[in-house]
C-alpha cells in the first residue's frame, strides 16, 4: 500500500479545490491518516487562502501540516501558474520523527534574532517555507550553516496575490502571515537535489582582486575585460545565450577535479574599476566559471541529478517528492516545446517513479550545494523520499 499521495484541483472556490485536492492525495493512502500534509495554494484573497488551508487539514486530520501561498502550484506531473489552484502532498511516515515549527524574527537593540527553531536531532532534514517580506531567508541560511552544521534545508520563498502582507503560511492547522514555517524530519532517509539549470562555458578563472560582492580582477585582468575575452571565443550559440543572461559559477572546492559550482547572477558592472557586481560575496582566490542557461541546459541538469539519484539508490523508485521550482522556470523558461509549467514535476515524477509529487513555484529556492545551504534563483530544489 502506498505511503505517499498527491492531489491538484483548480477553481476560484479555493475551499472546494482544497477538499478535492486533499481527497485525491488521501486516496492512495488506503484510509490511513497522514503523518505529514503539505498544502500549497495559488490565487485568491489571503483569507480565502487561509480557509483553504484549514479545510485541507480538517479533511485530512493530518498529525502535522505545513503550507504556503504561491504564484503557482505543482502536483503529480502538472504545474499550474497564475491561476487559482490547490496542490496537496500527503505522507505516511511510520518510522520518522516529524516536528513542525514557526520561526519569527524578534527585534532587539543589538539587531535581530530568529526564534522558534526546535532543538535538532542527529540526521534531521528541514523543509522551510518563508515569507520573503518578514523573514531574512538568506541571512538565516548563512547563520544556520554555522550554528546548525550538517542540517540540510530545502524549501522556497512563498508569495501572496497582493505582495507584502498577503502571504499566508500554514503550520499544524494554524495560519500565520509572517516569518517561516517548516518541519524537521528525522530518520526519513530523504535525499536533497538542487538543479541550478546552468551550463558552464569558457575556462575556469581565479579571482585575483575583489571587494565585497564586486569581482575586480579575473586571472590578473580587469574582470569585465577578461569576460569579454572569454565571450569572444565562445561559439555563436553560446554568445547568444550569454547576451540574454550571463551567470557566474563559484567553485565550492577549487581543489576538486570536478568541483560543484554555486551559480550566482551577474548583476552589473563597476565602470570605474572594470569590475563585475555579483549577487554574493566572492573571495580572492576563488575559482569561477561563466554559466549560461536555457531550456536545454536546465533540462539536462535536472535529468543528470535525477539519474544520479537512481544510480545511488540502485534504481529504487522514490516514494514521494517535494519540488520547489523557480517562478522563472515553468512556462517562462521551458515553453510549450519543453513541457512548459509541467516540465519539472513531470520529469521528477517519471524519472523517480514517485507516487506522490507536489510543491510550488517559488520566488527563491532553498537547498544545499556541496554541503552548505543557500538561497537560489532559477533552480529546482527537490526533496526525495524513499519508498
Q: pLDDT at position 56, please?
A: 98
Residue whose C-alpha cell is 575585460: 225
The whole-angstrom separation of Cα 41 and Cα 236 is 42
* 353 φ/ψ angles, rounded to the nearest 5 degrees: 55, 40
At residue 1, the pLDDT reads 61
Q: Are strands 318-326 and 356-362 parallel, antiparallel or unpaired?
A: parallel
Q: For residues 151 and 336, give the distance between their C-alpha atoms in angstroms, rounded to a whole number.
A: 37
Helix or strand run (H / E) with residue 47: helix 46-60
Q: Which of 189, 218, 178, 229 is nearest to 46 (CA)?
A: 178
Identify the pLDDT of residue 100. Answer: 98
Q: In what order do the strands lie in the sheet with 72-75?
A: 78-81, 72-75, 356-362, 318-326, 380-386, 191-195
CA angle 69, 72, 73 (to 5 degrees): 85
CA angle 237, 241, 242 (to 5 degrees): 115
| pLDDT for residue 233 | 96
What residue spans of 253-354 are helical by DSSP H?
Answer: 295-312, 330-334, 343-352
In this prediction, residue 255 carries a pLDDT of 76
- Return the residue matching grid coordinates 560575496: 281
Predicted local confidence at residue 159, as pLDDT: 97
Residue 259 is predicted with a pLDDT of 84
| C-alpha angle 82-375-176 in degrees, rounded to nearest 5 | 60
Q: Which residues of 219-246 are buried (b: 16+ CB within 10 A; e: fewer)?
A: eebbbbebbeebbeebeeebeebbeeeb
Would you state the pLDDT for residue 287? 95
DSSP conformational letter for 234: S
Sole residue written with cell 524537521:
184
List, in order, residues 6 or more apart from 63 with CB less than 8 Å away.
Answer: 33, 34, 35, 36, 98
Length of the chain: 387
Angle between helices 343-352 and 295-312 (to 10 degrees): 20
pTM of the model: 0.93
Contacts of 19 (CB under 8 A, 6+ apart): 55, 56, 59
Residues linked to residue 155 through DSSP beta bridges, in sequence order: 128, 366
Q: Among residues 133, 46, 40, which one has the least CA distance to residue 81?
A: 40
Domain ranges of the chain: 4-195+299-386, 200-292
Residue pair 160/148 in contact by the 8 Å Cβ criterion: no
Walk along the chain (387 residues) and give the pLDDT tens digit of each residue.
689 999 999 999 999 999 999 999 999 999 999 999 999 999 989 999 999 999 999 999 999 999 999 999 999 999 999 999 999 999 999 999 999 999 999 987 777 789 999 999 889 999 999 999 999 999 999 999 999 999 999 999 999 999 999 999 999 999 999 999 999 999 989 999 999 989 999 999 999 999 999 999 999 999 999 999 999 999 999 999 998 889 999 998 877 777 889 999 899 999 999 999 998 899 999 999 999 988 999 999 999 999 999 999 999 999 999 999 999 999 999 998 889 999 999 999 999 999 999 999 999 999 999 899 999 999 999 999 998
Beta bridge partners, 74, equal 79, 359
Q: Can you give the pLDDT at residue 245?
A: 83
CB 88 within 8 A of CB 25: yes
pLDDT of residue 107: 82
Spatial contact of 192 and 100, defined as CB atoms under 8 Å apart: no
Q: Output phi, psi for 138, to 5 deg.
A: -65, -45
Q: What is the dihedral of CA 211, 216, 220, 221, to 10 degrees?
A: -170
Amino acid at each position: 500500500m502506498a505511503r505517499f499521495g498527491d492531489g491538484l484541483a483548480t477553481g476560484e472556490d479555493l475551499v472546494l479545490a482544497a477538499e478535492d485536492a486533499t481527497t485525491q492525495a488521501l486516496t492512495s493512502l488506503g484510509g490511513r491518516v497522514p503523518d505529514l500534509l503539505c498544502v500549497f495554494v495559488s490565487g485568491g484573497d489571503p483569507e480565502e487562502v487561509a480557509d483553504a488551508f484549514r479545510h485541507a487539514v480538517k479533511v485530512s486530520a493530518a498529525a502535522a501540516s505545513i503550507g504556503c501561498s504561491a504564484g503557482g502550484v505543482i502536483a503529480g506531473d502538472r504545474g499550474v501558474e497564475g491561476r487559482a489552484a490547490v496542490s496537496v502532498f500527503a505522507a505516511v511516515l511510520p518510522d520518522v520523527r516529524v516536528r513542525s515549527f514557526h520561526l519569527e524574527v524578534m527585534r532587539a537593540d543589538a539587531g535581530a534574532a530568529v526564534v522558534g527553531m526546535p532543538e535538532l536531532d542527529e540526521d534531521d532534514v528541514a523543509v522551510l517555507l518563508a515569507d520573503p517580506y518578514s523573514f531574512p531567508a538568506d541571512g538565516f541560511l548563512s547563520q544556520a550553516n554555522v550554528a546548525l552544521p550538517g542540517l540540510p534545508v530545502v524549501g522556497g520563498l512563498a508569495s501572496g496575490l497582493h505582495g507584502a502582507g498577503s502571504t499566508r503560511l500554514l503550520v499544524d492547522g494554524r495560519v500565520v502571515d509572517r516569518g517561516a514555517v517548516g518541519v524537521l524530519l528525522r530518520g526519513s532517509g530523504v535525499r536533497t537535489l538542487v538543479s541550478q539549470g546552468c551550463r558552464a562555458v569558457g575556462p575556469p578563472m581565479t579571482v585575483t582582486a575583489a571587494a565585497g560582492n564586486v569581482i575586480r580582477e579575473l586571472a590578473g585582468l580587469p574582470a569585465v575585460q577578461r569576460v569579454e575575452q572569454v565571450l569572444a571565443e565562445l561559439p555563436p550559440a553560446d554568445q547568444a545565450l550569454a547576451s540574454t543572461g550571463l551567470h557566474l559559477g563559484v567553485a565550492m572546492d577549487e581543489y576538486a577535479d570536478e568541483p560543484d559550482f554555486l551559480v550566482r547572477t551577474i548583476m552589473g558592472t563597476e565602470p570605474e574599476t572594470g569590475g563585475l557586481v555579483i549577487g554574493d560575496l566572492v573571495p580572492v582566490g576563488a575559482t569561477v566559471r561563466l554559466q549560461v542557461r536555457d531550456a536545454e541546459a536546465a533540462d539536462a541538469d535536472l535529468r543528470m541529478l535525477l539519474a544520479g539519484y537512481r544510480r545511488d539508490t540502485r534504481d529504487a523508485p522514490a516514494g514521494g517528492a517535494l519540488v520547489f521550482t523557480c517562478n522563472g522556470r515553468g512556462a517562462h523558461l521551458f515553453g510549450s516545446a519543453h513541457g512548459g509549467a509541467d516540465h519539472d514535476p513531470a520529469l521528477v515524477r517519471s524519472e523517480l517513479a514517485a507516487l506522490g509529487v507536489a510543491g510550488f513555484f517559488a520566488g527563491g529556492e532553498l537547498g544545499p550545494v556541496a554541503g552548505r545551504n543557500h538561497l537560489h534563483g532559477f533552480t529546482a530544489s527537490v526533496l526525495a523520499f524513499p519508498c
